[in-house]
Amino acid sequence: MDALDQVIKPQTKMAKRFLKKREPSLSENTKNVLLIKGGNTNATVIQVLKNVEKHYKII
């Protein structure tokens, strides 16, 4: 059993609240992403950006 496999148990109430806030939830918040094409971008990445722009709402 590695150290990464062990479960972290909070020692204080403050640590318990912190871990409770960090645990996964059933409904995650919406995420935003900003995609910017740089000056040295190859054709494959440009095509991917065009496809993303077509399929998703751009704000």
Quick: pLDDT tens for 10-38. 899 999 999 888 888 888 778 787 888 88
Please give the average per-residue pLDDT across 42-56, as a whole number: 88
Write down the pLDDT at residue 10.
87
8 with 19: CB under 8 angstroms? yes
With contact defined as beta carbons under 8 Å apart, do 46 and 36 qualify? no
Rounded distance between C-alpha atoms, residue 22 and residue 17, angstroms = 9
Report the predicted TM-score, pTM, of the whole model to 2 decimal places.
Answer: 0.43
What pLDDT was estimated at residue 1? Answer: 52
